[in-house]
Structure 1
Amino acid sequence: MAPSHNETTGPEQAETPGADAEAHGFSVSLGNFSGPFDLLLTLIGKHELDITDISLSRVTDGFIAYLRDLNSADELDEATEFLVIAATLLDLKVVGLLPQGELVDAEDVALLEARDLLFARLLQYRAFKEASAWFSGKFDAETGRRFRSVRLEEKYRQQTPELVWTVTADDFAAIALLAFTPRELPSVGLDHLHAPLVSIREQAAYVVALLRAGEPLSFRELIAGADQKGVVVARFLAVLELYRGEAISFEQ
């Protein structure tokens, strides 16, 4: 792919960095643009400057020279930020240099969608940078705040009501004793949740004990002392188990 005409002709030179460039951020000076790098991104994002007319190689060379004048603490942040933006601009330029015709297939549509996504990424970068600048300004504005470390002025102290103690030391001791005395935990019963389980074996032994008296008993007589439905059911099942084991006999 042949390079654009701005990369081969014209007096495009990257601005020589210095103390002024470091103080005001990275700036570029090209044949069709001269100013801060952020302004260049703004113009590209607003489609007021064609990305295909920008020599990204000269912008990169100028940024490398700009990094040499920064200290090591700022160099990493600046370089990381520039790499993200430079990659986005490079993708935009590749899309812009590809032949654009009528939309005849899905690939052309995808190409335009990719370009729109790249522009959206550029605008997102601008939004985050402006938000970070806003937060930084707020932090700087609040650094001068200090909390009050002196006593209240006398004219205000006179307006406060006099504190009158009505509680003695013994009263405080009694309150402390009451507060630190362990409290008895309330017992929570489970009777209201479900009926207690009834053992069929125990009910079978109870039935056998009644029948050993020698007289036949009706089922109503067997459950005469049962006060719960569970006991009645368990006693009935006990009778069936005893009958199946031929321990008792009954007539219906």
Structure 2
Amino acid sequence: LVVAATLLDMKVAGLLPQGELVDAEAVALLEARDLLFARLLQYRAFKEVSAWFARCLQREDRRHVRAVPLEEKHRKQTPELVWSLTTDDFAALALLAFAPKEIPHVGLDHLHAPLVSIREQAAIVVTLLRGTESLSFRELVAGVTEPGIVVARFISVLELYRHAALSFEQLEPLGELTLRWAADSWSDETLATLGADYDR
């Protein structure tokens, strides 16, 4: 009841407008009572925790370590140590253990990969497609070993499709991608602006 009354008084003091109706000393008294209540709750929590530790320590006092040697029946079951290595073997192990470790080397070749031009790869795609009726993307990148060139040719295919220069067909998801030339009139000047977004 005291806690509920204290909280209610603080709620009323917070809702009332600041003026003559609210006494600053009363508000300070309510805050002091609330702080005292919070400290009492902390004291109770610490007291319960200390009682729990006391019960655990009292329960553990009844346990004692058994300081006895290993029984003979278990001692006989331990296998006898047999050395199978010679002194030369130990010398070789010591040399291997004390040999200086090789400093790990981090390759930086991937940071200096050559740039691949979208326009150049698009020109290759145009040349290959205009010389045949249809061509699969697998055939388009046949013999290419660098991943950057494969990606550049795929981007050039997308750019050419955006300019309605080619069409592609894929009968099933993740299936073979068949490309066909679809432009009625094509000028090589279009390649000058192809892939300009990737130059930035």
Which category of TM-score, normalised to the shorter sequence, fits these structures? 0.3 to 0.5
Answer 1 or 2: higher relative contact order, Cα 8 Å, separation at least 6. Answer: 2
Larger Rg: 1
Q: TM-score, normalised by structure 1?
A: 0.29
Q: TM-score, normalised by structure 2?
A: 0.35
